[in-house]
Structure 1
Amino acid sequence: MNCRQWITVFMLTFFMIGGVQFIAAEEGSENQVLIVAGDENFPPYEFVDVIDGIQVYRGFNVDLLKAVALSTGYEIQFRPMPWAEAIKALDRGEVHAVGGMKYNSERDKIYDFSEAYMMNSLAIFVLKDMQAIASIEDLVGRKVAVQKDAIAYQRLKNQPIELVLTTNQGEALELLVSGKVEAAVGNSLTGQYILQRTKQYQNVKIVGGAIDSEGYCVAVKNGNPILGVFNKGLKDIKENGTYDKIYVKWFGEPIDYPVQYYKRNFTFAISAVIILIILGVIAVQISLYLQREVKKRTKEIEVINEELQRKDKLEALGKLVACIAHEIRTPLTSIKTFAELLPAKYDNPLFREKMSQFVPQEIERINNIVNDLLTYANPRKVERECIPIKRLIDTIMVFFADDIAKQGIDVQLDIKEAHMVYVDIQQMKQVMINVLLNAIQALTGKDKPSLTIVSEIRENQPCMLIADNGVGIAPENVKFIFEPFFSTKSGGTGLGLFVSYQLAQQNGVTIMIDSQEGLGTNVILKFSSEENLHA
């Protein structure tokens, strides 16, 4: 055998022995060290914390991998760093693994993943008052903060979104809270943990639900046999219950139970099923008996129902009468006011002029209400005409002059002469009177009461805003205010706003209410019919 052949044999022997030693080491020599990189600020999974003045690397992933190392006989060394640097360290072979990486198909081309030890998802974080963002599609064209090289960056990098890259998710949320970005996208649990820890959870909300829910794993470079160690350790700690204890420590409840749990309870489950079957048979027999009894009682119930329906009709009739009384009371109040002032102001020519103008109008209004009742089965046809909003308001405000003076209400009027509407004048007067009456009543006893009435053009359509700083409406009552017979006032019938809402609809007018209890109410009348586009 010549020299070259001896050298070849030596080299083959050397590499074979080295390979065997490497495999033995990877399979669990007690002195082997696992070097694992992780994010330095990704709570509650992994983060650098300060306890008694000492920096400590802690979190769910840290405790989990410590348990894996202990189970497999390895020693573990953690290297916390920014996430982007952790990825680079794995790519350069400086570490064996990255402690927690969400699986996706793009990453699968570069890395091997352990069995998933939990499910993970992305979330969109926005400020509480943001209404324009509800999904990933709504992020297009907006400024969005994401952690550099994290799964959120991978998800959004090829979309027409202005991405602002941060070192960690905490920085992304800081940019959101400070108003420098319109949204932040990142891990759902991590975001919630950071917001609670920084006491910003009241300012931020999650929209769009769970996004791209995938397995959360340990990642190694493609082909690295050390992955088997992690898989074995993860399996062991799940079976012996260690995983559940770690999960409860960081998240509050386990996502799964060990296999022994299911084996231990299998017999119990079978017994329970048999008992349920027996109970089911008994329940069927009882049900058949009850069906026979129900048939006997049905006829009796039908008789009772007929009596209840008759009673309901009488109650409805009573409410209808109350409705008519409510609608007639408003013009009667105006007439009564003029009558009370007549002795004192009879010699006032301006007063006589107003009285001769408005009293006949209100009497006519009462007559119209009575006519509406008599022709209930065949409602009066809406007769619209073009009129300035200012004229409507001017003819109505006179009715409330005394109440405004008595309560010391600061009234701000800004009604443009040019703002025209196409409506039934009598019906819209009734709508506006009801709205103003509610506003003035809400100001009773209020310190520094104020009432603002403004007209403006929105979306090429005339609108009127009536705002007060009164008692406001409780949140739970707002959705019922246009319902018939709903009222929070003592002695109220709950028909004023209901009637106004119906009349407004007939005139193509939308009523919108924004109210805060204790702060006041804004009522917007939007004259949205086709004719009002050109009124």
Structure 2
Amino acid sequence: MKKTIAFVTTLIIIAYGVLAYFEVFNTITFFGETDSITLRIAGDRNFPPYEYIDEHGEYIGFNVDIIRAIALSTGINVQFYPMEWQETSEKLQAKEVDVIQGIKITKEREKYYDFSDAYLENSQSIFVLMDTEIEKLEDLSFQRVAIQQGDVAITNLKALWEVKIIFTSDQEEAMRKLLVGEVDAYIGNTLTGAFLINQLGVRNQVKIVGEMLNPSKYAVAVARGDVYTQHIINKGLKEIKRNGTYDKIYRKWFGQPLQFPSWYKRKIIATIGIAISSLLIMILFLYRWNSSLKKEVEKQTYEIQEVNKILIGQNKEISREKDFREKILQNIFIAVVTINKEGRISFVNQLAYQLLGSQEEGRLVGNPYRETLLEQLFSLDKLQEGKGEEEIYIQGEKRLLYYDIRTITNINGDMEEVILFFRDVTEERKLQETIRTKDKLQSLGNLVASIAHEIRNPLTSIKAYAELLPKKFNNTEFQKLFSTDIPLEIDRVNTLINDLLEYAKPRKPFRERIHLQSALNGVLTLLKNKIKQEKVHIENHIDEAIYIHMDKNHLRQVLLNMILNAIESMDKEKKKITFSAEIRDKKILLNIKDNGCGIDEDSIHKIYNPFYTTKSNGTGLGLFVTFQLLAENGVALSYESALQEGTIFTLTFTREGEDFIAEAINC
């Protein structure tokens, strides 16, 4: 028992000795030969309450007081240089100043600066007017948002849709733009925004919404490699925190201390020491219970071993499942590559190696993607989602790759992994071109009768003039009619032939501004004979003011296919095709309606499949080619149909400015 009391007493003495040591250590003051040093301090000229020029022209603020306190504690001299915020980094990198006072620590900035110890936790908020419907960050899509030039909040806004970003020189300018309605919201430093609200007296007009953004540590920045200046700043910060100066400055500008005062810390440490001592005494008493608990411990140990066996079995099952999933990825028909957030390749399946070339095998996994062929082939500059096509050469043969880049994010919205899917679509594109050519040939056959009729009319006129020419060669009136009519008829024939050649010639889409009603009338003219033979009534309700952007030959073929398809679907006496267009939101919708037989439920999902048709003499290529042509021009195609009532096909274009630009769809 005496040994136990002596042991406890010794522990208590050691604990109080450690406390005494830290107490003495905390009283050490930094001394050095720094009286002759003058540091040039850069800071924002208008960033209250951190740093700003007041109405008397004095440079004041929380950061200014911190730097002055550091200067007093270390014996250095400081000279302040207020400037626009975006200038501070340029001045420091050019070594025109030695320090940037008060700056958020980010990974990007760590590439250019070294930082002191952090002395503040900082965050940003969304500021809006009281009567706004904006409640969170996602509501800023399609809104006008102000941020200070160079602010890290640009990262938050880039993740949203169609945000109009307005840059300001400082946060006060952003607040004033919000108050006069030039912007719908602004993002800025939380404490600065609260300070401006009080200073401008707009507490009843402005509110903060959503969660805090970009929480980060706040420190002093020095030039990369300037260890000496960094050492001085850190020593000064430790001293002003130890002697309570930091707490006073914080209360002066923000109203409450960031951390507990030194005496409170000492009291907490002493309390912890007493608690530890009491805990040790309890442990000594509990030691006597050890024998009675031994059997219970053995029992628990046995149970733990059993649990471990179960966990080992589960781990093996998880491992088998992981291997099974990897085998699936290795054997699927699409190439897969994954890249982690550090930019290193973490997985490559066998098909990816085959498509990239055997020389890439063994040098992909584990390496930065920028050092591999992936950087040259695909749009991976910012590891963002996207899709497209790239041409590469595999064993000297040109191949076309279609790729799709997807990102995986964690619960906080931060990117964890990038997945790159790609596949060889060379043969697929060739097949599509072959199908399109067959469809054009079929369409040409349907046009022959109409075009022949159109050509026969001017040829008849030319023949009549040619027969009268010997008899009326000297007739002045005949000469006048001859010189007027014959060129017009020849031009008419030439135009028909040129249109036919231009329609038949395959090429990539060339989008241009097209008058929709004129384009439709041109197609109806080509099909005039077919429409007349089938006794189809045409109604055209398209406004003359509507223009679209599309390849004119593709538009002609689409309209030809859809009109011929509509004619063939009608077996009634009163056949009718109606064309109409409407503007809805930022889109124009072209509707083609027939009163034909409609499409049954079994066929409705197959109408775009190549070679699928319910007609006895059809090829099943018309709607497939139509869909492909519209997709190439970025035009969406949808339909509504009912048996024995007819079908409505709708082509959807997106409006931009005064023109109509095709809306891209995923095909």
TM category (shorter chain) comes to 0.3 to 0.5
Which structure has the highest helix share of the two? 1
TM-score, with normalisation over the residues of structure 2? 0.35
Which fold has the larger relative contact order, with Cα–Cα distance below 8 Å and residues 6 or more apart in sequence? 1
TM-score, with normalisation over the residues of structure 1? 0.44
